Amino acid sequence: MNRRPPRAKVQVADFSGTMKRLFRYLGKNWIILLIAALFAIVSGVISTIVPIFVGNALSSLYNLYKGGNGVINIIPEYLNFEVYLGLWQTLNLIVIFAFLS
């Protein structure tokens, strides 16, 4: 059993100053950190969208097995053109930033 009194909570005195000092320590490496964050976002988006495509492919294989036409609907109704355009532009920006760094 812990018989010591609880510790006092530590509060940040100057959050903005601490963040400025952190970015100063990063120097030129903040671009790499930004690119890593962008890749993490893109990875999350891709890992969300890929199961939709796999589900459509499996459904079309099942329909083909049951005697249907088996056509795969590549673009589902709920994912419109603007979503794909945004993903494509994000991918292009990541590639451009990777070559510039």
Tens of pLDDT, residues 43-57: 888 888 888 878 877
Print the SS3 string covering 26-87: HHHHHHHHHHHHHHHHHHHHHHHHHHHHHHHHHHHHHHHHCCCCCCCCCCCCCCCHHHHHHH
Residues 15-37 pLDDT 10s: 888 888 888 888 888 888 888 98
Total structural domains in the chain? 1
Residue 45 CB neighbours (<10 A):
14
Look up the pTM and report it. 0.45
Residue 87 domain boundaries: 28-100
Count the alpha carbons within 13 Å of 56 in the hemisphere toward its beta carbon: 13
In a domain, residue 60? The reply is: yes
In a domain, residue 18? The reply is: no
In a domain, residue 59? The reply is: yes
Q: What is the mean pLDDT of the chain?
A: 79
In a domain, residue 46? The reply is: yes
In a domain, residue 52? The reply is: yes
Interaxial angle between packed helices 30-65 and 15-26, expressed in degrees from 0 to 180 and rounded to the nearest 10: 90
In a domain, residue 87? The reply is: yes
In a domain, residue 92? The reply is: yes
